[in-house]
Amino acid sequence: MFLWLRRCYQAVFLLFFLFLVFASTSQFIRGYDVQWFLEIDPLVTLTTALSSHVLHHTLLWSLPLIVLTLVFGRFFCSWMCPMGVLHHVLGHLGRKRKVLQRVEQNAPRSSHKIKYAVLAVMLGLAAAGSVQIGLLDPIASTWRGLSVSVLPAASNTAYGLYQGERHFQWGTLVTIVFFGALALNFVYPRFYCRVLCPLGAFLGLLSKFSLFRISKDPSKCNECDVCGADCQGAADPQGTVRVTECMVCLNCTKGCKRGGLAYRFLPALKLSKVETDLSRRKWLTAGMAGVAAVPLMRASDGVDPRPNPARIRPPGALDEPDFLAKCLKCDACMKVCPTGGLQPALHEAGLEGFWSPILIPRIGYCEHSCTLCGQVCPTGAITHLKVADKVGEMPAKPPVRLGSAFFDKGRCLPWGYNTECIVCEEVCPTSPKAIYFKVETITARDGTQKTLKFPYVDLDHCTGCGTCENRCPVVDRAGVRVSAANESRTPKSSMSLTGGRI
Amino acid sequence: MRILLFAVLAVIPPSLIGTLVWQGRKTPPTEHAPAAARPSGQEADATLRALFEAPPAGVKLKEKVALYDEKGLFDYIDGAAPIFIDRHFRKLAASEMATPEGSDLVCDVYDMATPENAQAIFDKEKSTTAKFVDGWPEAIAGPMSFVFHHTRYYAKLTAFDAKAEAALPVVARSLKEKMR
Amino acid sequence: MTDRDPPRPGDVVPESRLREGGKNASGGDGAGADGIDRRALFRVGLTAAVAAGSVALGLGLRARDGHGRGKTLPKLKDHRVDKVQGALEMAIVRGPDPAANVRRAVEAMGGMGRFVKRGERVVIKPNIGWNRLPEQAANTNPEVVAEVVKLVAAAGASKIWVTDVSVNTPEQCFARSGIEKAAKAAGAIVVRPDAPAFREVDVAGKLLRTADILFPFVEADRVINIPVVKQHGLSGATMAMKNWYGMLGGQRVKLHQNIHLSIVDLASMIKPTLTIMDATRILLANGPTGGSLADVKQMDTIAVSSDEVALDAFGAGLLGLSPTSLGFIVEGMKAGLGTPEWRNLKFEELGG
């Protein structure tokens, strides 16, 4: 009976997750809390709190889950986790036919300790100020896989009817990682959940204190091993139940035909195993490796002191060190961006910023009065601006600047080819426009006089939104391009004296 | 016991998800657009209707407030319509109210689009001998009637017996408080 | 010996195997002289069918004219109604209620029934180009759009489309301009400029031979243009004629290299039924995007005509520009699209 309840929970929460992913567009989002799953994720709370020393208010949702795990054990993995449901289904499809073969598939392995090392490394990185948890966190990974890989592919095939044509740079890497993890289920079921998942490791550690656990009644056991045939966590129900691995899927309670296994309140401790098999030395080594990795990553170039000009962050983003201390690389901002301009960085933000959001204006510009990225960011790496603050009101209040536009006079049509254009001036959304023109007369090739409008950028008004670059008729590398210089979130980036800081 | 537990667990996801979805359906507040000098037709209609909410002193609206535009104005006030139309009148909100004792009151508020137009129609309609209400230079009280203008509105209140007449200034003042 | 083993010397080989010639015995219905013929016929027939099919497919798919598979492109229709002797050619109405202004102006021109007959399909083209609120006057006033939809519906149109190819993200432009909501409430079908909505059309213009155009402009019987009056950095102003940019897909930003001629080219390609110029709020500076309310002027005016050049000249006057200083008006006049001297038309001015 409770087995069917568990299956219902899985279906309902997966559907809810998919609904939130689908709703995460500028057209459908309304006020939905689309990042609810990340908000209840205790690892997100823990790592961002460690690295940024503050707790974003929405992340308090994770506290109920921590408490529930302490009481009920690692039920999240079997009852609620969307990645868990996908892997459960695929693992079920990939399972061997014969019972004894399945028992072998679900046997505990030493590789299952790896996820604890992964957790330790992640916590070490976070303690030193770099959040990388999103790369392996199941919820962030599922969101990213759907947003950057699956949904764009489906939508583009259907003539872009869902969100227009969507392309993400090197999105194939996300595809490979996402489907690769799913394919591992054909090695043995729940491979990812057992070997790699840091959230599973964390919840497993909390389960050590759980009040309810699966426990075996030794008097009923005839050692047939059938209970382990469908064990999701490889928790060894036929031996001593490993509490840290048990996902409370309840399959073993049905598997045992003699009623020897049950989910009980406070069973005798000797009937369940609580060590994680990761020795203290291994914990420390992994943790220290994580901590040490941060200055090693930051010793390379591209972040500071020579910031990459292509590292244009979303509007409302915190200054770079604070941003990297909070950005999960969940790609929620990229999903919701109405123009599709927010893209996963590859090298532009250094290794630390891999898959964090940058604006690529040639693909999509930043809509002038849109603040959706800040609305969906679960950790506050992108703050939710008020439109009035984003747009500003010159001259009294400057707007939020993502960067600035620079003319490439060799490629711009009036400047380089004496051809009329100024589409950039036409589409510039600020008022007064940040691109203005001067009318001048030049001598054309055939000797005649030609009057043209020549465009210029006014740095005081330019917000770096990239509409000009996006619309420039020079189709490959545009005649006007935006770079991150002069972005308002970084005082050192300012080019003019008006900032009041040098 | 197990049944109870099952029931509790079964109820949790729908109620949790239902609450989250219901909460999300309320659109987040869009940015506040600075109001234009003159509001659009639909906004102005809504503002006009809102003047009649919660009348004071136990007075109640007898029916829904009726809105009349240029065409409808002729049906309502016949030959008197042109003087309003010439002064760029936008809409008339006509209402019938009743005092707690049951006496009838008619309350017509004209949205004249600008304060200048409201002043103009007020001046046109008032008689040369009319005296302003003490302490309220935009209002004139007559036998069984109370007329005033404020911001872009022009209001004409009519009573049919002494009891209702006493209520006119109170109703007028409460309308004035709501006019922006 | 089974059917699968080759016969060894001395084996008795059944007749069925002799016929098969060593292959797996399958299909057919076995022994008999007729059996041979039927099976052979079937095999020959199958081969012939595959051969014929391949040849037919190859011939059918072959490139013609060296340009790939030839196809005929649709053309744009002439959506104009016949001129009526003595009818009003231009109506200008001023008043505080935009919807009332539209009603009075269209009535003065003879009523919508003069332009739209019962059962016709109509496309209404407002300016929904920009991600702006109505007060910022970058798009057509939603109340004006709603009123036009209502009038067209009352005239008995069988289908009413409202559409535009926005410059900014379409879903945000359609929503924030208020036009999608107003048009839907009035009963129109709002068409978003998604990829499947475009058709390649033979436009036979001077600058453009073919263009990608939204399907309602190809399929509708009547076309109504509802531009808004705005200043524009490159062309000077953007009003009725330039509004036709909004039916184009593709890389239309290239047209800016010859803006005045391209505006007139577009206005010659499409022959609308009626133009209702929205001058309720006009954009005096920083057009066509605008943004600041300081650039907006409340004019409370609606002007209706079938002459786009005349309307553009009238709109230029509202913006404080001389009509003949605008290249597209001069070129439009030269191309015979109309006259900038709107006062020479039979016109009527109503309202304060």
Domains of chain A by start residue, with CATH: 2-132+187-273 (no CATH), 398-502 (3.30.70.20)
Q: Which two tokens stand for residue C123?
A: 């496309």
Q: Answer for the pair B70, B41: CB distance below 8 angstroms, yes or no.
A: no
CB–CB contacts below 8 A, A to C:
84
User: Of the candidates A159, A431, A437, which has its C-beta nearest C291's C-beta?
Assistant: A431
**Predicted pLDDT of residue C15:** 63
Average pLDDT over residues B60-70: 87
Please choose, from the candidates A131, A161, A167, the residue with its C-alpha nearest in 3D space to the C-alpha of residue A45.
Answer: A131
Contact map slice: C 256-295 vs B, CB within 8 A: 281, 293
The per-residue pLDDT for C27 is 47
What are residue B66's phi and psi, to 5 degrees? -100, 135
- Contact residues, chain A, for C288 at CB < 8 Å: 426
CB of A431 less than 8 A from some CB of C: yes
Given a cut of 70, is residue C33 above it in pLDDT? no
Query: Are C256 and A420 inside 8 Å of each other by CB?
Result: yes
pLDDT of residue C292: 83
pTM (two decimals): 0.80
Contacts of B25 in chain A (CB under 8 A): 30-32
By CA distance, what is C132's nearest residue in A? Answer: A369
Q: How far apart are CA A348 and CA B77, in angstroms?
A: 72
Quick check: C160 pLDDT over 80?
A: yes
Q: Is residue B23 part of a domain?
A: no
Q: Which among C171, C258, C290 has the least Cβ separation from residue A431?
A: C290
Q: Which chains touch B (3 or more CB pairs under 8 A)?
A: A, C
User: Residue B6's pLDDT is what?
Assistant: 87
Contact A369 B26 (CB under 8 A): no
The mean per-residue pLDDT over the stretch A317-327 comes to 92
What interface predicted TM-score (ipTM) does this complex get? 0.84
Could you say which of B6, B17, B28 has the minimum Cβ distance to residue A5? B6
For residue B72, the distance in angstroms to the closest alpha carbon of chain A comes to 39
**Chain C CB within 8 Å of residue B12 CB:** no
At A368, list the tokens. 């002038």
Contact C169 A413 (CB under 8 A): no
Give whole-number Cα distances, C49 to A92, A483, C39, C43, C107, in Å.
Answer: 46, 63, 15, 10, 67
Query: Across chain C, what does the average pLDDT equal?
Result: 88
Confidence of residue A216 (pLDDT cuts 50, 70, 90): confident
Compare CB distances from A453 to C169, C234, C253 and report the shortest one's residue. Answer: C234
The answer to whether the Cβ–Cβ distance between B33 and C296 falls below 8 Å is no
Contacts of A16 in chain B (CB under 8 A): 13, 17
- Asked if B59 contacts B97 with a C-beta cutoff of 8 angstroms, the reply is yes
pLDDT (mean) for B12-17: 90
Question: In degrees rounded to 5, what are phi and psi of residue A25?
Answer: -130, 165
**Cβ neighbourhood burial of A219 (10 Å; 0-12, 13-18, 19+):** exposed
Q: Is A229 on the interface with C (CB under 8 A)?
A: no
Using a CB-CB distance cutoff of 8 angstroms, which residues of chain A are in contact with residue B20? 32-33, 36
Structure tokens at A83: 């990645």
Reduce the DSSP state of residue A274 to 3 states and report it. coil
A405 part of contact set with chain C, CB < 8 Å: no
- B42 part of contact set with chain C, CB < 8 Å: yes
Distance (Å, whole) CA A203 – CA A237: 19
Q: Compare CB distances from A338 to C172, C285, C295 and report the shortest one's residue.
A: C172
B26 inside domain: no
Which one is predicted more confidently, A448 or A492? A448
When divided into structural domains, chain B yields a total of 1
The more confident residue out of C6 and A482 is A482
Task: In whole angstroms, give the CA distance from residue A349 to residue C96.
Answer: 55
Instruction: Find the residue in B nearest to A27 (Cα).
Output: B27
**By percentage, how much of chain C surpasses pLDDT 70?**
87
Asked if A16 reaches chain B (Cβ–Cβ under 8 Å), the answer is: yes
Q: Do A5 and B24 touch (CB under 8 A)?
A: no
Which residues, 6+ apart, have CB-to-CB distance to A420 below 8 Å?
A: A413, A414, A452, A453, C234, C256, C257, C258, C259
Contacts of C among chains (3+ CB pairs under 8 A): A, B
Integer Cα distance of A376 and A373 in angstroms: 6
| C79 contacts chain B (CB < 8 A) | no
Q: Do A432 and C286 touch (CB under 8 A)?
A: yes
We report the CATH number of the domain holding residue B50 as: 3.40.1000
Nearest to B88 among C143, C296, C352 (CB): C352
pLDDT value at residue C12: 67
**pLDDT category, A220, cuts 50, 70, 90?**
confident
Q: Which of B35, B41, B90 sits opposite C143 (nearest CB)?
A: B41
| SS3 state of residue C347 | strand
With contact defined as 3+ CB pairs under 8 Å, the chains touching A are B, C
Which of A2, A13, A386 has the CB atom closest to B13's CB atom?
A13
Minimal Cα–Cα distance from A181 to chain B, Å?
A: 28
pLDDT of residue A260: 83
Question: Pick from A31, A32, A388: which is nearest to B31 by CB?
Answer: A388
Residue (of C296, C303, C317) closest to C351 by Cα position: C303
**Helix (H), strand (E) at residue A452:** strand A449-457
How far is C-alpha A279 from the geometric centre of its chain's CA atoms? 31
Instruction: Tell me the sheet residues that pair with A443.
Output: A449
- The interface residues of chain B toward chain A in range 9-28, judged by CB-CB distance below 8 A, are 9-10, 13-14, 17, 20-21, 23-28
Chain C contacts in chain B segment 84-113 (CB below 8 A)? 88, 90-91, 113
> Quick check: is B131 in a domain?
yes
Residue A22's pLDDT band (cuts 50, 70, 90): very high
Predicted confidence (pLDDT) at residue A358 exceeds the cutoff of 50 = yes
Chain A: residue whose CA lies nearest to C294: A431
- Whether the per-residue pLDDT at A119 is higher than 70: the answer is yes
SS3 A453: strand
Q: Give the single-character DSSP code of A338.
A: T
Question: Under CATH, which number does the domain C90-350 receive?
Answer: 3.40.50.11440
Query: What's the rounded Cα separation, in Å, for the pair B167 and B66?
Result: 22
Q: Which residues of A touch B11 (CB under 8 A)?
A: none
Average the pLDDT over C136-146 and give the result. Answer: 95
Q: What is the pLDDT of residues B78-136, one digit of tens each?
A: 888 888 887 778 889 999 999 888 889 999 999 887 777 788 888 888 888 888 888 88
Residue A485 DSSP SS3: coil
**Chain C residues whose beta carbon lies within 8 Å of the beta carbon of residue A451:** none
- Closest A-chain CA to C193: A164
C197 touches chain B (CB under 8 A): no
Contact A20/C at CB under 8 A? no
% of chain B at pLDDT higher than 90: 15
Query: For residues B123 and A290, what is the distance between their CA atoms, to the nearest angstrom?
Result: 82
Quote the distance between the C-alpha of residue C9 and its chain's center: 80
Position of tokens 């869902």?
A162
CB count in 10 Å sphere of residue A60: 12
Contact A26, C169 (CB under 8 A): yes
Q: C177-206: per-residue pLDDT in tens?
A: 999 999 999 999 999 998 889 999 998 888
Any alpha helices (H) in chain C, and if so which ranges? 15-20, 33-61, 98-108, 142-154, 170-176, 179-186, 215-219, 259-269, 308-318, 327-334
Question: In which domain, by residue range, is B73 found?
Answer: 41-178
Residue of C60 and A182 predicted with greater confidence: A182
d(CA A194, CA A200) in angstroms, rounded, equals 8
Alpha helices, DSSP H only, in A158-309? Answer: 171-183, 191-195, 198-207, 251-255, 280-298
- Window 345-374 of A: residues touching C by CB (8 A cutoff) are 367-370
User: Which of B12, B22, B31 best probes binding to A when mutated, by most A CB atoms within 10 angstroms?
Assistant: B31
* pLDDT for C3: 56
Report the pLDDT averaged over residues C252-257.
91
What is the chain B residue with the closest CA to A31?
Answer: B24
* DSSP 8-state secondary structure symbol assigned to residue B27: P
Burial of B100 (0-12, 13-18, 19+ CB in 10 A): exposed
Going by pLDDT thresholds of 50, 70 and 90, the confidence category of residue C4 is low
CB pair distance less than 8 Å for A12 and B17? yes
Chain B contacts of A9, Cβ < 8 Å? 9, 13
Query: Is residue C101 very low, low, confident or very high in pLDDT (cuts 50, 70, 90)?
Result: very high
CA A353 – CA C214 distance, rounded (Å)? 42
Give the distance from residue B14's alpha carbon to the nearest chain A alpha carbon, in angstroms: 8
Note whether residue B84 is domain-resident: yes
Q: Which long-range contacts (C-beta less than 8 Å, at least 24 apart) are formed by A163-171?
A: A163/A25, A163/A340, A164/A340, A164/C194, A165/A340, A165/C195, A166/A340, A167/A340, A167/A363, A168/A334, A168/A343, A168/A344, A169/A343, A169/A344, A169/A346, A169/A360, A169/A363, A170/A344, A170/A346, A171/A344
Query: What per-residue confidence (pLDDT) applies to A344?
Result: 96
Answer with the residue of higher pLDDT: C209 or B43: C209
